[in-house]
Amino acid sequence: MLSSPNRFITDDSGRVTHLEILKMELGEPDESGRRRPVPVEGSETLIECDTVFLAIGQKPDLNCLYDEAESCPIESTKWRTVAADPDTLQTAVPNVFVGGDAHLGPDLVISALGEGRKAARSIHQLLTEGELAVPKRLQREMIPYTLFKDVENVNVKYRSTMPHLCDGEDRVCTFAEVEGALNTEQAQYEMCRCMRCGLTCYDRTADSCEQCEQPTKEIQEKI
């Protein structure tokens, strides 16, 4: 869309009435080759509104690391995250480690968990061995095979049918919901079915994932 919010317009009571946006265009490439958007002069446009929700990204608040009298030795990146060694997660300050969103920026929960484990490994190594060393067999790529070959009491199963009202008068003569929900027994059944489906989809030796939706006769014989 290449537009950017510029300012809020308010009435005498301070309540927002309009949002002013600027049309943008791509400027000249910078040193990295990226063409950053620049505003087009005279392109201001007002959008009438009475409520505005700000959603312009997230970043760690690093103000607590700094003092007016002296600067903090912990380094930060251009994204305002804490800089650290990518393998050990030690910051520029010895014996100080970081992980999660403070290091990566907004990311997935599993990414934060992984960094917590990596930092814990480094701290343990530092306390027990007195030094940090990157493991020679550090896993950097996705594991190319499933970790599990089978799960007890979890088998290939057909998908449960969602309960719903039949077509016709049952739908037009009642205020009941047309589509229902799975009961406890069905939900537990689906949990096992989905677990099995995951084993199949992540097993690269499988011919296809169609068996997740509609088990073949050969697969059914194993159930």
- Cα 196 from Cα 209, distance rounded (Å): 11
Does 208 have pLDDT greater than 80?
no
- Cα 159 from Cα 191, distance rounded (Å): 10
User: pLDDT value at position 97?
Assistant: 95
Does 137 have pLDDT greater than 80?
no
User: pLDDT value at position 139?
Assistant: 65
User: pLDDT value at position 23?
Assistant: 92
User: pLDDT value at position 70?
Assistant: 63
Q: pLDDT: is 31 or 144 the higher one?
A: 31
Q: pLDDT: is 213 or 65 the higher one?
A: 65
Does 44 have pLDDT greater than 50?
yes
| Share of residues in the chain with pLDDT > 90 (%) | 23
- Cα 122 from Cα 94, distance rounded (Å): 12
For range 29-40, the mean pLDDT: 87
For range 148-171, the mean pLDDT: 71
User: pLDDT value at position 110?
Assistant: 83
Across 66-120, the runs of DSSP E, i.e. the strands, are none
What average pLDDT does the structure give for the chain?
A: 77
Is residue 184 within a helix (H) or strand (E), and if so which, with residue range? helix 184-201
Q: pLDDT: is 45 or 169 the higher one?
A: 45
- For 62-118, what is each residue's pLDDT tens digit? 777 766 656 677 888 888 899 999 989 999 988 999 999 999 988 888 888 889 988
Does 173 have pLDDT greater than 60?
yes
Q: Report the chain's terminal Cα–Cα distance, integer Å.
A: 53
3-class DSSP state for residue 56? Answer: coil
pLDDT interval class at 146 (50, 70, 90): low
User: pLDDT value at position 18?
Assistant: 94
For range 126-139, the mean pLDDT: 82
Q: Which of 66-70, 145-149, 163-167 has the highest mean pLDDT?
A: 163-167
Token pair, residue 43, equals 């392109």
